[in-house]
């Protein structure tokens, strides 16, 4: 169940802080954040599949070899990617945090986001991390969410509650992501915290499985970032019996993980660079789960679909086109398509043929900030969702001027 105004400090034993290190250019928003657990917890992560990777990824992978972590340090404004001494600087940030927190630096996970190919310096971390360590509080989740943003227009955080072993547990999340977002890991930076006791092995299994139906079903612009990382720390402060095997408690955790992951995925898609609308594609009655995933992604990745939604033009032929070139096997002879929003549901295609409809009603439905594209393949029993956004003039402006 979603917790109102929840975030990464909603689970027991987690605190956060945020500050301005001079890495980015917004001193009000901040550019560095820290999330800390009261105790060392089990941890896991998934990363971008881009062959060019940020320096923090190799450091984080190394630190997670033991499957445990206690803190996260994340900066915005500089991706620390394709820089000569990036790995050393990420490691130095962990060393400073470890010293200030009184913990082994191996339990600190570094992360960076921002411009690629700009040299990073250690001085901002040396100057600011001590302030972050001194300012840790359960009240700072929102400040941390703002500090890791880049072109995001709003912070992205959530928390859900669930039961495990008769105990009330909480799972919190924060993310940043607005551009350079596409399939192949999790398409942004996202950090999760939970007070549930769960083994590292099951945390990793849960993340690996979950991203297929949430984080990996988001696309803004077709560009998979070099920095994508989703990490989770579970500190066991809820007091439940350790979840170390599949069963009812693991199922409860997985349900909570899916709920919060979809919530974050939708927030990222709805804040795509320059966007005015969140697009949700729902494909049902597909021959297989993966086919449903692939087809729904094909729809939200189509530039022609995205521009049609921006123009509030019910050009459903573009949806059929995107379905048709999806790289998987299915029958395209009996496809139904509806366009929907808070203003209603409009059938536009039946049996892969045109359905008469009112353009005025279509424009009214497409005027909403959230538009659903409902597709029934009539070719099986599986379904999947994907999330994207419209493609606007502002997207070109933002990215044409991103560095300068």
Active-site residues, by number, are: 187
Torsion angle of the four alpha carbons 80, 82, 88, 91, in this order, in degrees rounded to the nearest 10: 40
Alpha carbon 403 to chain centroid, angstroms:
23
Helix (H) or strand (E) run with residue 30 in it: none
Longest dimension (CA), the chain: 68
Length of the chain as a residue count: 404
Residue 403, class by beta-carbon neighbours within 10 Å (0-12 exposed, 13-18 middle, 19+ buried)? Answer: exposed
Distance CA 95, CA 116 (A): 23
Q: Are 347 and 295 in contact (CB under 8 A)?
A: no
The closest of 108, 135, 192 to 18, measured between CA atoms, is 135
End-to-end alpha carbon distance in the chain: 43
SS3 content of the chain, % helix, strand, coil (to 5): 35, 30, 40
Contacts of 176 (CB under 8 A, 6+ apart): 76, 113, 145, 148, 149, 150, 152, 155, 156, 188, 189, 190
């Amino acid at each position: 169940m979603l917790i109102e105004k929840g975030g990464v400090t909603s689970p027991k034993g987690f605190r956060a802080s945020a500050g301005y290190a001079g890495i980015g250019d917004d001193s009000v928003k901040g550019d560095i954040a820290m999330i800390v657990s009261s105790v060392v917890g089990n941890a896991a992560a998934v990363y971008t599949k881009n062959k060019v990777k940020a320096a923090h990824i190799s450091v984080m992978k190394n630190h997670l070899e033991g499957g445990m972590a206690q803190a996260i340090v994340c900066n915005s404004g500089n991706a620390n990617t394709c820089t000569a001494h990036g790995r050393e600087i990420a490691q130095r940030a962990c060393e400073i945090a470890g010293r200030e927190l009184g913990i082994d630096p191996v339990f600190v996970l570094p992360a960076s986001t921002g411009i690629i190919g700009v040299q990073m310096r250690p001085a901002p971390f040396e100057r600011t991390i001590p302030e972050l360590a001194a300012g840790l509080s359960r009240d700072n989740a929102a400040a941390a969410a703002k500090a890791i943003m880049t072109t995001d227009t709003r912070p992205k955080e959530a928390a859900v509650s669930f039961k495990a072993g008769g105990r009330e547990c909480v799972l919190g999340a924060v993310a940043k992501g607005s551009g350079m977002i596409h399939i192949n890991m999790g398409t942004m930076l996202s950090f999760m915290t939970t007070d549930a006791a769960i083994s590292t092995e099951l945390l990793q299994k849960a993340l690996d499985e979950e991203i297929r139906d949430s984080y990996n079903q988001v696309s803004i612009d077709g560009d998979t970032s070099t920095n994508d990382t989703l990490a989770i720390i579970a500190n066991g402060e809820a007091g439940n019996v350790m979840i170390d095997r599949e069963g009812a408690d693991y199922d409860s955790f997985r349900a909570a993980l899916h709920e919060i992951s979809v919530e974050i995925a939708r927030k990222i898609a709805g804040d795509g660079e320059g966007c005015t609308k969140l697009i949700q594609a729902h494909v049902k009655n597909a021959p297989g789960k993966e086919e449903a995933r692939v087809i729904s992604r094909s729809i939200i990745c189509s530039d022609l679909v995205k521009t049609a939604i921006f123009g509030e033009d019910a050009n459903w032929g573009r949806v059929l086109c995107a379905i048709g070139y999806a790289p998987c096997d299915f029958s395209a002879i009996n496809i139904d398509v509806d366009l929907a929003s808070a203003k209603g549901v409009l059938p536009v295609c039946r049996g892969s043929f045109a359905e008469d409809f009112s353009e005025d009603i279509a424009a009214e439905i497409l005027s909403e900030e959230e538009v659903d594209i409902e597709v029934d393949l009539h070719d099986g029993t599986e379904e999947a969702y994907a999330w994207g956004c419209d493609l606007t003039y502002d997207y070109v402006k933002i990215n044409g001027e991103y560095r300068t």
